[in-house]
A and B are shown apart, each in its own frame.
Chain A
Amino acid sequence: MDFVRLLQLNPWCWSVPLTPGERRAEVRLYGSAGLLATMDDKVLEQITNVARLPGLVGCAMTMPDAHWGYGFPIGGVAAFDADRGGIISAGGVGFDISCGIRCLRSNLDLADVLPHARALADALFRNIPAGVGEEGDLKLAPDALDEVLCGGARWAVDRGYGVAADLEFVEEHGCVEGAVPENVSPLAKKRQRGEMGTLGSGNHYLEVQVVDHIDDRAAATAFGLREGQIVISIHCGSRGLGHQIGTDYLVSLAKAASRLGIELPDRELACAPINSAEGQQYLGAMNAAINCALANRQILTQLTRETFARILPHTALETLFDVSHNTCKAERHVVDGREMMLHVHRKGATRAFGPGHPALPARYREIGQPVIIGGSMGTGSYVLCGTRESERQAFSSASHGAGRAMSRHQALKQWRGRQLIDELAERGILIRTRSMRGAAEEAPGAYKDVDLVAEATEQAGLARRVAFLRPKICIKG
């Protein structure tokens, strides 16, 4: 990224001063100089375009892991006030609506798992449908799917996928309000028929990880984490249903924008006023997709438990937290001393409520929300903790991943999937995938340094590091 247009506010935050005659809201870029230097200039162009959208409150901002997306940058956060003409944007949520991470803590230590690692990797690979074209055992007709879209993870628990205790540790207790299945096209429902309980492909994964080290003992204790403990992370979203909703509304909202009096700086920012029929229609469909994603991760949680139980029968897997990072959510935030209801878009950004937030489960309310930064399959991931400072600075938002440093095409030229998998195996990381090409595209070297992203996230005040998780088994789509 070219620093010429940037003004450094502190070592971890930058703004983009207005040029003469330019009309837009403020922009904030969080991250170190080193991280920003590696970002494409398109990140700046995209977040500046977001700052021109109507009804934006505060700043349009990017998280330290930001990279070039479509419409919004990945790692983009923007809040809109419906009463001031604020919009909801399909491009601000993305195709993989409510993509997120379910993190499970276990009662196992690394030593318990190591003798069974290969068997566990093979069994997880057999039981977790992963990769392009793979379907799950559960086939849902449109009417049955409507129940999923209204019930979310609760629907899944009611049908034996998991336990009620899981729901306390899922955002919105497993079910977001405002889902309108009628706003979801028949094609989207048809596309989801075989996709409940599937991982998908690309950067989605199921990882068995070990807690490598603890940074914050008090928070780790609250989260139930200790060094050497086995943790499982499941990264996936709303699958074909979400993709089709994104597809349907991206085009329809792009067409509607001029009729609704919205000048789009980029057609990909396709949006509608929250208080318009079009905006409400998308909101209802998007909430349905959020519930679909929550149900999907709940089913995968159960499949994971069943797999562990066959190989290590005394395993207990509890939901540590389930957090989405491609959403728009109605939330109350204090702006200039006044509490407001805002629609906060987080595209490739994680909600990160600080201590005391009423939405948090009692277990975490004093310490703050668990935040998960998923890293690459060769490096590791971080568990962090939400802060009050993030509420003031970023509508309680934080980074969601390492963020790509290299395109998929460049990665394919640099790595071979088989060779990469063999090298990782020598380092004690077992990869199971149907896609050698996908493995190469997801090479650890194609991602930013997750340590730098986590450090910048903490130093910027967005979330505080709690624990580092090192991968041992990775099921890739």
Chain B
Amino acid sequence: MNRDTNVASGERYAYFEHDADMGIVGRGVSVEEAFEAAAAAMFAIMTEPAAVRREQTVQIEFEEADIELALVRWLNALLAAARTNGMVFAEFRLERDGVVWRGSASGEPWRDDLERGVEVKGATLTMLSVRQAEAGWEARCVVDV
């Protein structure tokens, strides 16, 4: 439980164990970067990110004062944007202005030769934490698959 996978220290994202679902960890020098990395971890569950063409970009905006809930809302906003646009994303940008979060996600519509992983249904509040670690910020939660 709660064991990071064997990724080299300093990698942007990792996973931790959960019985039925998956734990994701995003890391960065800022909260925003850690959130971007968490998004990359989540979409890597659904496909191989390196194969995704950055053809289209969608914008995300929401207001949230609670930094942990902001992670969940960011991830869930991305899932909804992916589903409603029929897309898969592989590149993420996020900025914060007080309680307003503005982000973008780039990717492409699903095509037959993209590897199909497992659909993520939603980001949960389980094992949810956003904290400053020695090497920067770390954002984690369990996602329901």
Contacts and interface: CB of A to CB of B under 8 A. Distances in A.
B80 to A, nearest CB: 6
Contact of B145 (A40, A202, A251): A202
B124 A201 contact: no
Interface string B23-46: 000000000000000000000001
A251 B117 contact: no
Given A133-B86, A194-B86, A409-B22, A95 B126 contact: no
A254 B125 contact: yes
B110 interface: yes
Chain B interface mostly: loop
A462 B80 CA distance: 38
A68 B18 contact: yes
A407 B128 CA distance: 18
Nearest to A94: B144
A202 B22 CA distance: 11
A191 B145 CA distance: 17
Interface string A43-67: 0000000000000000000000001
Interface string A430-447: 000111111001000000
A262 to B, nearest CB: 15
Contacts of A94: 144
B121 interface: yes
Given A194-B86, A201-B118, 19 more contacts: A40-B19, A68-B1, A71-B124, A95-B122, A95-B144, A96-B121, A132-B116, A133-B119, A134-B110, A187-B84, A191-B84, A202-B121, A268-B128, A408-B22, A408-B145, A409-B5, A433-B116, A435-B115, A438-B118
A131 interface: yes
A132 B112 CA distance: 11
Q: Is the interface of A mostly helix, strand, loop or mixed?
A: mixed
Interface of B: 1, 5, 15, 17-22, 46-47, 66, 69, 72-73, 76, 79-80, 83-84, 86, 88, 110, 114-119, 121-126, 128, 142, 144-145
B121 A404 contact: no
Nearest to B142: A70
A136 interface: no
Contacts, number: 140
B121 A95 contact: yes
Contacts of B5: 409
Residue among B5, B86, B145 having the largest count of chain A Cβ atoms under 10 Å: B145
19 contacts: A69-B21, A69-B126, A71-B124, A132-B46, A132-B47, A133-B116, A134-B110, A187-B84, A193-B84, A194-B86, A243-B122, A250-B125, A251-B73, A268-B126, A408-B22, A409-B22, A437-B117, A438-B118, A441-B118
Contacts of A201: 116, 118-119, 145
A274 interface: no
Contacts of A408: 20-22, 118, 145
B116 A438 contact: yes
Contacts of B128: 267-268
Contacts of A407: 17-20, 22
B115 A247 contact: no
Contacts of B17: 407, 409-410
Interface in A82-135: 91, 94-96, 131-135
B20 A69 contact: yes
Smallest CB-CB A-B distances: 4 pairs:
A133-B110, A70-B126, A132-B119, A68-B19
